[in-house]
Structure 1
Amino acid sequence: MKLRKVSQLFDTLDPSPFRETDLALQAEDYIVDRALEFSDRVPIEIVIYLPPDELRKTHVSDIAAAVRYYFGLRSHAVSRELSGLFKTGRLSLVVGMVILFICLLLGWVFAQRMTEGPFSRVLSESFLILGWVAIWKPSEIFLYAWPPVAARRKLFDRLSRATVLLDEDDTVSPTAEGANG
């Protein structure tokens, strides 16, 4: 990542101390996008190129610690998100299974008690459909929703352990803006 100043790496509106400050959204997106290009087995190395005068003013350990700390916080936040998703899934599953049971029971009762005809058949099938719809959300959570969240957590965890290096870049012009890639 090529920067004109170290301050471009961090969110200037975040009042936290330097090592605890958020990364700028563009910097986070750039780092995450590049990290996604690599296999899970490859260790991540983040190289930040700065002009010589800016590099002399910068402490490598402070920048590296701040970047790793930020991604550690992101990993922890996504872990909480995943825990909340599973908690919602468990609660939805219990509620959905109860509703499914009640609907199947009511459908069976209406099918047994009512005379054979289109109305009783529609009512019985409607209860069956309602019951299956009730377990739609937990099925979605446990089958499809959690893997992308877990993958994001794994990526942030890898980024929190990344090697962060600062290097000199003579090609960055004084008028360059943002992360040039």
Structure 2
Amino acid sequence: MKPQPIELYIKSVEQLFNPLDHSPLPDRDLDEEAEQYIVGTARELDARRPLAIILRLPERAAKHRAARDVPDAVHHYFAYRSAQAARELRELFRIGRQSLGIGLCVLAVTVAVNRAVTHYLPSSAIGSLIAEGFFIVGWVANWRPLEIFLYDWWPIKRRRDLLARLAVASVELRFEAEEGAAATGEEAPVVPMKPLAP
């Protein structure tokens, strides 16, 4: 199946990375705008097909000694971000389980209070108000865990899966001739880069 291309035009290898991060490749973070563009474009593409990240650079950038480390850096970065999202998801479920335990305890207490008030003050308006108030508190205490388990985890899972797809996407650096050379009809050399094994 043919990979879906995500193309970036950059002036230098350094432009792809966060200027505040001076770690050696492949441990450097991507530039925030570059990451947003890659992730945003990938989100719009077919999730069933593989991805290919194509970086177009001027021909002079081929001389940059870090050029051949760029694919590993891109894979490493998205693998790290996917692992981060996976940890975030696990943490959310842990909070959800704790919240559910607390919510069920609160619900049990409020149901018991509701029954007690209803039993001892069967025809009292104040008793009915107290009983209903406790019953509502019991259900409200379970709102957050229900929200977590029904809705909140889906976006994190989608982000984790998308970042995992980018972590194994093929990466190509295409060094294109400068304008003067392009006018002569010369074709820019392509340097294919293999993706990391999934």
Fold similarity call, TM over 0.5: yes
Query: Which residue in 2 is equivalent to 1:153?
Result: 160
Task: Provide runs of 4+ in structure 1 moved above 3 Å.
Answer: 58-61, 169-172
Query: Which residue in 2 is equivalent to 1:34?
Result: 41
Query: Which residue in 2 is equivalent to 1:45?
Result: 52
Equivalent residue for 2:142, pick from 118, 135, 140: 135
User: Whole-Å Cα distance in 2 between the matches of residues 11 and 161 of structure 1?
Assistant: 21
Structure richer in strand, relative to its length: 2
Q: Is the 8 A contact 2:86 2:160 kept in 1?
A: yes
Can you give the 5+ residue segments of structure 1 that lack an aligned partner in the other structure? 173-181
Can you give the 5+ residue segments of structure 2 that lack an aligned partner in the other structure? 1-7, 180-198
Q: Decide whether aligned partners of structure 1 residues 122 and 112 sit closer, same or farther in structure 2, where only a CA change above 3 A counts.
A: same
Equivalent residue for 2:84, pick from 53, 77, 80: 77
Identity of aligned residues (%): 37
Q: Decide whether aligned partners of structure 1 residues 39 and 63 sit closer, same or farther in structure 2, where only a CA change above 3 A counts.
A: same
TM-score (norm 1): 0.90
SS at match of 1:20: coil
Structure richer in helix, relative to its length: 1
Q: Larger RCO: Structure 1 or Structure 2 (Cα < 8 Å, ≥ 6 residues apart)?
A: 1
TM-score (norm 2): 0.83
Instruction: State the shift of 1:70 in Å.
Output: 0.1
Equivalent residue for 2:61, pick from 43, 51, 54: 54
Query: Which residue in 2 is equivalent to 1:108?
Result: 115
Instruction: State the shift of 1:108 in Å.
Output: 0.9
Equivalent residue pairs, number: 172
SS at match of 1:78: helix
